[in-house]
């Protein structure tokens, strides 16, 4: 059974930092791709960052230069978020899928099969 579990959300002031964690278990044979999405009230879910097992990454325009998605141990990924603004306030979701090693990083909701429950990030001015 595949499980995706997020942690690390919270409240910070503008300019602060947070690190979100995502634990993905249950994939056995194929290469993994992990991504973070976020959804603010009244808005669509948007991709923020994606990372493949081969180390290829992709960031949204709003995340580039401020967020870094990295892999820790075999089952854990981290999203380091710096220089946060109130526009970053949202529910953040980790998503994952398994596939061939050449699968590129992607930020589409439909590109991922397994999702976590979300963790909330609030940035106050």
Segment 1-23, tens digit of pLDDT:
999 999 999 999 999 999 999 99
State the burial class of residue 2 (Cβ atoms within 10 Å of its Cβ: 0-12, 13-18, 19+): middle
**C-alpha angle 11-13-18 in degrees, rounded to nearest 5:** 55
Q: CA-CA distance, 106 to 67, in Å (whole number)?
A: 16
Segment 54-78, tens digit of pLDDT:
999 999 999 999 999 999 988 999 9
């Amino acid at each position: 059974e595949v499980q995706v579990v997020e942690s690390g959300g919270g409240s910070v002031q503008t300019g602060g930092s947070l690190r979100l964690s995502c634990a993905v278990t249950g994939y056995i044979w194929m290469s993994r791709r992990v991504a973070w999405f976020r959804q603010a009230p009244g808005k669509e879910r948007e991709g923020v960052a994606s990372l493949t097992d081969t180390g290829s990454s992709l960031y949204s325009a709003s995340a580039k230069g401020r967020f870094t998605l990295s892999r820790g141990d075999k089952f854990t990924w981290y999203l380091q978020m710096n220089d946060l603004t109130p526009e970053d306030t949202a529910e953040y979701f980790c998503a994952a899928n398994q596939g061939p090693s050449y699968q590129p990083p992607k930020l589409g909701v439909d590109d991922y099969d397994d999702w976590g429950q979300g963790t909330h990030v609030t940035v106050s001015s």
